[in-house]
Amino acid sequence: MLVGAAALALLGGTVATACGSSPPVKDVDALIGVLERARDDSQLAGNAAAAAAPKIAAALSVVADQRAAHARALTDEITRISGEAPTTSASTSATSTTSAPPPKPPTTADVVAALKQSADGAGLLATQQSGYRAGLLGSIAAACTAAATVTLGTSGVTS
């Protein structure tokens, strides 16, 4: 009985140490990069939807919502593994005193290109991860690919 308790205590200490270890910072940094892409894609798709024809605008709005959901899932995972809510670099636009024409709104083709890049990045990172993170990143890559090729690809966009 005493030997069993000692073995259990030893095993419990090993498990606690393994479970209590924090992941390498590079994992968090890599996830933050994917998080920023998700936020950027969501904003890009939303901006493109605002300027698109109704049929394509509806598809772009779905993509914007999906990428926002990816950002929330990534935020949750980063918070879980680091213990802190992620901070990402905020895009700031400089205010100009010149009266230049406003930039052209993004097109559906711009969104498709961004989704393909996001799919490639998330897919590559998924191969370097394990467990839940690999599954999350693989799901994000698949969703981006489906959005680019099915959701937007069937809306008359050629890329």
> What tens digit of pLDDT does each residue of 108-125 get?
999 999 999 999 999 999
- Domain spans, the chain: 24-84+106-155
Per DSSP, the three-state class of 23 is coil
The Cα 116–Cα 145 span in angstroms is 6
> What tens digit of pLDDT does each residue of 75-101 get?
999 999 988 888 766 544 444 456 778
Residue 55 has pLDDT above 70, yes or no: yes
For residue 88, count other CB atoms closer than 10 A to its CB: 14
Say which residues have a Cβ less than 8 Å from residue 40's Cβ, sequence separation at least 6. Answer: 91, 114
Residue 104 has pLDDT above 60, yes or no: yes
Residue 19 has pLDDT above 60, yes or no: no
CA distances from 73 to 11, 67, 157 (A): 33, 10, 28
User: 24-84+106-155: what fold?
Assistant: Ferritin (1.20.1260)
Q: Taking all residues of the chain, what is their mean pLDDT, rounded to a whole number? A: 82
Please count the residues of the chain.
159
The share of the chain scoring above pLDDT 90, in percent, equals 61
The larger pLDDT score, comparing residue 92 to residue 151, is at 151
CA distances from 130 to 16, 29, 75 (A): 20, 16, 18
